[in-house]
């Protein structure tokens, strides 16, 4: 499968090379970052009350020194759908003085213990993702 030569295309190519089946739905984590905690909490509240699908998690990233809202959406990781969702979330985040900061998927490796800590999971991220 061929992908456009940009961050999203390179990420999909790397996922395919890693043996991830890109024709099946995966939990895709989209990262939204905010300088101000109140902005991040307002965005979280509005997303949780909307009809948007997905899981939400808010935390402070010591590495970025920003508030990070992770929006996890189960979807087929198709290039155009990823770009559309990232654009949609960036527009949403901008309403709260935030922005998107890439996306990634948690990859379960054969032989991994199901009960291992998240930090032990392999995480495929785009160039701008700091995870």
Q: How much is the pTM?
A: 0.79
Q: Hey, what are 87's tokens?
A: 């654009």
Tokens 């939400």, located at residue: 56
In the prediction, which pLDDT does 107 show? 65
pLDDT tens for 30-78 read 999 999 999 999 999 999 998 777 899 999 999 999 999 999 999 999 9
Quickly count: other Cβ atoms within 10 Å of residue 56's Cβ: 15
In the prediction, which pLDDT does 87 show? 96
Choice between 122 and 68, residue whose per-residue pLDDT is larger: 68
């Amino acid at each position: 499968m061929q992908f456009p030569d940009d961050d999203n295309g390179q990420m999909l190519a790397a996922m395919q090379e890693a043996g991830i089946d890109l024709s099946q739905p995966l939990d895709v984590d989209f990262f939204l970052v905010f300088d101000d905690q109140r902005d991040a909490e307002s965005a979280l509240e509005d997303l949780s009350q909307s009809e948007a699908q997905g899981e939400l998690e808010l935390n402070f990233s010591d590495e970025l020194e920003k508030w990070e809202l992770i929006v996890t959406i189960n979807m087929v990781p198709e290039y155009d759908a990823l770009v559309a969702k990232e654009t949609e979330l960036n527009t949403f985040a901008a309403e709260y003085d935030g922005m998107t900061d890439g996306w990634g998927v948690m990859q379960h490796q054969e032989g991994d213990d199901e009960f291992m800590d998240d930090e032990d999971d392999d995480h495929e991220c785009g160039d701008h993702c700091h995870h």
